[in-house]
Amino acid sequence: MRHVHIVNAISMNPLIIEPQLINIWAEFQSTFQLVLKGLIIGIIVSAPMGPTGILCLQRTINKGRDYGLVTGAGAATSDLFYAVVTGFGMTFVMDFIDRPENIFWLKVAGSVLLLVFGIITFRSDPTKSMHKPSGQKGTLLNNYFSAFLITFANPLIIFLFIALYAQLTFTVPTNIFGLLFGFMSIVAGAMLWWTGLTYALTRMKHSIGTDGIIIMNRIIGSIVIVISIIYAFDTIFKISFKFYQ
């Protein structure tokens, strides 16, 4: 009887959670999702072996890992600029984005753009961007700024940001902390990629050749293509599922 009394007491007095705790948990979940999406965006934007990727590769092999890392940091800084431009640009059309039917088409368009980007990456030959090493290392700051300018000279990256923002529903919060978390997570994702790449290149610099670079680029392109197809099917399935409910 004593155990029954305890069970009944529990059932008659349900646990009450303070509204403040619920709000804090909701904020934590929202921030965690924002940071996770930002990391994914940063990695995908940085991964293809374009001119900056080849530059990072050559500097890591010929000059050392520190030079490869500052090259990646320069590219990440440029990516941050275009990420901010894209983010604030999309806030002006929030009324359009907030409508469910428009979100569907934005995600489909984002999947198509990602697919095109993946195909271009797969078909491209990054070794054409390779140059003979000059023999001079230069300062770390010079290497940083040269990588920044090379990446900055490619404003078409905005279309990739638009595709990723749309597909991942990456909406930048209006508060200052949300802005910092959102955009800095993109930089963190980019630097995560460059750190991993320079580490791998340092370990394999005596065995990697032009064929290895091409294979790596095709693997990256294939991954982007698969991701775009999965996102497209996921978007269409969810909308269709709602229609048939």
Output b/e per residue, 150-159; b: 16+ Cβ within 10 A.
Answer: bbbeeeebee
Q: Is residue 124 part of a domain?
A: yes
Quote the pLDDT of residue 90.
Answer: 72
Q: Is residue 5 part of a domain?
A: no
Contacts of 67 (CB under 8 A, 6+ apart): 59, 60, 137, 140, 143
Quote the pLDDT of residue 131.
Answer: 63
Q: Is residue 129 part of a domain?
A: yes
pTM score of the predicted model: 0.71
Q: Is residue 6 part of a domain?
A: no
Q: How far apart are CA 174 and CA 176, in angstroms?
A: 7
Q: Is residue 72 part of a domain?
A: yes
Structural domain of 229:
19-244
Sole residue written with tokens 């009394």: 5
Are 53 and 126 contacting, i.e. CB atoms less than 8 angstroms apart?
A: yes
pLDDT tens digit sequence for 64-86: 889 999 999 999 999 999 999 88
Q: Is residue 107 part of a domain?
A: yes
Q: How many domains does the chain have?
A: 1
Q: Is residue 94 part of a domain?
A: yes
pLDDT tens digit sequence for 136-180: 667 889 999 999 998 898 888 888 888 888 777 787 766 777 788
Question: Of the candidates 157, 127, 139, 132, which has an alpha carbon nearest to the alpha carbon of residue 54?
Answer: 127
Are 197 and 72 contacting, i.e. CB atoms less than 8 angstroms apart?
A: yes
Residue 3 confidence class, pLDDT cut points 50, 70, 90: very low
Q: Is residue 7 part of a domain?
A: no
